[in-house]
Structure 1
């Protein structure tokens, strides 16, 4: 037999605005939770929005695999009556049946009641009463999923209310990465047009083809773009061999120089107004201890500090053309699907985590949604310029980080990890700059620019991205 689950969300925004948010291409990535228990990986965006017949391909995490193993899930949209409701159902996947009806009702105060009605049968019909057991297991997972979706929807709508200026055309390099995917989705749900710079791809609808390795980018493809955002670069989570260091530096500096050259060849009346380029708090180097680091603090020692200096210097070449240039000095981005947290989760779930490298070093962290929100905010804010520390307002020591996140998982964090472990994997230099470095950054400039954090403290961030509550 089937079971029905209902979740209701009351919003202050009018129904047409809320429904329009769901119609836009970024809605599915924004609503898809990064933790297991439901569809938590977007493999292929809806083929035709939420209109009948549109298909999307997702994945559902296999329990116990920490998001590393997914089963395929294909959803098809059915009935559709804007702005009142739309439906989607699983046409193939691991459940016996799944249909989701999204209902939008006007409230007396001009807001919106969103009612999510899910009809689900966990197992095939022949499983009989085992479906009752499956329903008891699924209900808590559905509660986690829809609580996450409500927080995402509410915060995104508030973000777009704050940034209610003209809708822009924004070109994004690094659009398929952990941060870039969410930056694009957030901008799209706000009604902005996003053009993705794709390596080797032909320029076409929604895509600008380029090849940073060969220095290929047609300046005409940037005409009429309002803002360019560059978030790409070779991963730094590796041994710093001479070859890797060359690739890490080249992938950032050469691609930024290519962008700046192309921007300089666009006529002034058609040239983008701003260039927003990623950097990192690695700019401040190692050995900073308890020092509070502002954007005016001197750059430090080490390979990553050198990379960031050269990267920022390349980006500032665009200032010659009268463009607003922003350097996003990124903190440690938290998500169970990538970045700092992903490789630590299996040990944390097993209760085998604890202070790393003594645990005294400061970690300036930021949740993925605030990372995406800050980048979008800096792209949309005409008065934002220069370097910005982009991290949560409350940095923590590594010992507290391990204890807090493990606590959200209801696990202890008492097993210390000496630096010998990371050194065996990453080598001495990468361990010193990635694991042992202490960065206590101040984000007063970002706050003064008007950015409103979703999660200022580590516990609330971890609870959100892991789908856990006290």
Structure 2
């Protein structure tokens, strides 16, 4: 693709497996008048009773700014493709000097179907629209797919014999995990401090410290699993108070969950979240599950200090579970991954050169592979992975300079090296910690390799393309 085309054409496709009949899923997807019931960011007013190609359709997007502006200024769109046999429907919206195409397709697969959603932008306004409309329409697609799954008639569902409780189930990782498991037929409950309207799972309110009615989330006739992702967000300033809060929130929630599940039928699985940042800034060391945790000055308090306390709380608790894991997750990559926001901002403003010296290691894993690791740990699909510490990390860690080069290529922009000053100042302004991107670790997993786990997302650029 030429550099000019990059600024006048953009396309992104999201996909999600659903354990349901392809025809039953398409009966809803193919009716644009129902889209707003499951894709909350889209709503259509369909004219002429959807007679087929050429049917007039008005897009009624939500939002206090873009919604009224679009409704006041944009012409009607239309259905430009419809194929019942291929389970495909396409809507085209004229835009200044170009168009926006929205395309849904449902493919039959073993055990269910694959839902694909594509947004395609054309014309001189592409760059502006992709960072606003395009991103907003694609965001949280897995959650939208889970809403769709719940709309499909129960007779078309394929149920999974699993009840999964996710503590911290509405953060970036938690909501993607919850949605994926719902779409695969599992019973899913999330524990959260607040309730989100239209979230496609049952939600129990908890504070992570005290016992309460939320403990009934573990009652089920199906095998019960727990995935503990709970804890304060890590993107905070590097102060002693914040570090103590990060560690305490993780220790308390782990102990609280252990108390709630100590009696009665054992859990089938407890997956305790941790992080590969437990190795702090590891230089050129090659790290696997058997590598020692750093101590002394090498153990950064906001990394090793927080993660080691988190893992210790789990190992010291009386965990009532048949299978027990500590899952050290690296940076999970997806077009909407939180870390990519500031990195893409740098690349799109011409500052996407190497950060710091650029040689620091960047260990990562694609979202789809991370979800599959979780499903394997829950024994919902092969291969079976032995209990203990597991690293959720792709087999090909990259240098920071390689990561930034990939992001520059995707953006079609040159990039000036930023050194350490700009990231440090930017982190101070945003209230985050620059050491997240200025430090590095070369982490891999010998456990997943020995178990025969096959990674499907090993091309970093393809994984983060937005």
Judge same fold: TM > 0.5, yes or no.
yes
Instruction: Provide the C-alpha distance between the structure 2 equivalents of 1:217 and 1:259, rounded to a whole number of angstroms.
Output: 13
Instruction: Provide the C-alpha distance between the structure 2 equivalents of 1:138 and 1:51, rounded to a whole number of angstroms.
Output: 14
Question: Runs (4+) of structure 1 moved beyond 6 Å?
Answer: 13-16, 21-24, 76-80, 136-140
Post-superposition Cα deviations, 1:44-83, rounded to whole Å, max 9, x if no partner, equal: xxxxx99958624544xxxxxxxxxxxxx43589999xxx
Compute the displacement of 1:200 (Å): 5.2
Instruction: Provide the C-alpha distance between the structure 1 equivalents of 2:24 and 2:191, rounded to a whole number of angstroms.
Output: 26
CA contact 1:318–1:325 (8 Å) conserved in 2: no
Aligned residue number for residue 60 of structure 2: 92
Post-superposition Cα deviations, 1:258-309, rounded to whole Å, max 9, x if no partner, equal: 11110103x12xx3211112110111122x2111100111112111112111
Aligned residue number for residue 183 of structure 1: 177
Aligned residue number for residue 211 of structure 1: 207
Compute the displacement of 1:422 (Å): 2.9
CA contact 1:88–1:100 (8 Å) conserved in 2: no
Higher mean C-alpha displacement, 289-298 vs 400-409 = 400-409
CA contact 1:289–1:438 (8 Å) conserved in 2: yes
Instruction: Provide the C-alpha distance between the structure 2 equivalents of 1:88 and 1:311, rounded to a whole number of angstroms.
Output: 56
| 3-state SS of paired residue (1:388) | strand
Q: 2:268 aligns with which of 266, 270, 273?
A: 273
| 3-state SS of paired residue (2:327) | strand
Q: 2:403 aligns with which of 391, 398, 401?
A: 401
Q: Trace 1:19-98 onto structure 2 (pairs within 5 A).
A: 19=23, 55-56=37-38, 58-59=40-41, 73-75=42-44, 92-93=60-61, 94=70, 96-97=76-77
Compute the displacement of 1:254 (Å): 0.7
Aligned residue number for residue 446 of structure 2: 444
Higher mean C-alpha displacement, 353-362 vs 304-313 = 304-313
Inter-CA distance 458–243: structure 2 relative to 1 (3 Å threshold): same
Q: Trace 1:191-340 onto structure 2 (pairs within 5 A).
A: 191-199=185-193, 206-216=202-212, 218-224=214-220, 226-265=224-263, 267-268=264-265, 271-286=266-281, 288-300=282-294, 301-303=299-301, 304-317=303-316, 320-340=319-339
Inter-CA distance 221–317: structure 2 relative to 1 (3 Å threshold): farther
CA contact 1:292–1:440 (8 Å) conserved in 2: yes
Inter-CA distance 19–315: structure 2 relative to 1 (3 Å threshold): farther
| 3-state SS of paired residue (1:357) | coil
Structure 2 portions without partners, runs of 5+: 1-10, 50-54, 62-69, 104-117, 123-133, 146-157
Compute the displacement of 1:348 (Å): 0.8
CA contact 2:230–2:250 (8 Å) conserved in 1: yes
Compute the displacement of 1:220 (Å): 3.4
| 3-state SS of paired residue (1:273) | strand
Instruction: Provide the C-alpha distance between the structure 1 equivalents of 2:78 and 2:462, rounded to a whole number of angstroms.
Output: 30
| 3-state SS of paired residue (2:374) | helix
The reply to whether residue 173 of structure 1 matches residue 158 of structure 2 is: no
Compute the displacement of 1:165 (Å): 9.8
Structure 1 portions without partners, runs of 5+: 1-6, 29-48, 60-72, 81-86, 106-113, 124-129, 157-163
The reply to whether residue 18 of structure 1 matches residue 22 of structure 2 is: yes
Post-superposition Cα deviations, 1:210-252, rounded to whole Å, max 9, x if no partner, equal: 2214454643331225111122221222212122112211221
- Corresponding residue pairs, total: 377
Superposition TM-score, scaled by structure 2 size: 0.68
Instruction: Provide the C-alpha distance between the structure 1 equivalents of 2:168 and 2:419, rounded to a whole number of angstroms.
Output: 34
| 3-state SS of paired residue (1:245) | helix
Compute the displacement of 1:104 (Å): 5.7
Post-superposition Cα deviations, 1:407-442, rounded to whole Å, max 9, x if no partner, equal: 1222223x1122222333546xx8574223221011
| 3-state SS of paired residue (1:121) | strand
Superposition TM-score, scaled by structure 1 size: 0.68
The reply to whether residue 422 of structure 1 matches residue 427 of structure 2 is: no
CA contact 1:183–1:373 (8 Å) conserved in 2: no
Instruction: Provide the C-alpha distance between the structure 2 equivalents of 1:314 and 1:77, rounded to a whole number of angstroms.
Output: 55
CA contact 2:228–2:271 (8 Å) conserved in 1: yes
Compute the displacement of 1:377 (Å): 3.0
Compute the displacement of 1:20 (Å): 5.8
Post-superposition Cα deviations, 1:326-374, rounded to whole Å, max 9, x if no partner, equal: 1221112223433221111122123321111100111102223333332
Instruction: Provide the C-alpha distance between the structure 2 equivalents of 1:259 and 1:56, rounded to a whole number of angstroms.
Output: 32
CA contact 2:91–2:101 (8 Å) conserved in 1: no
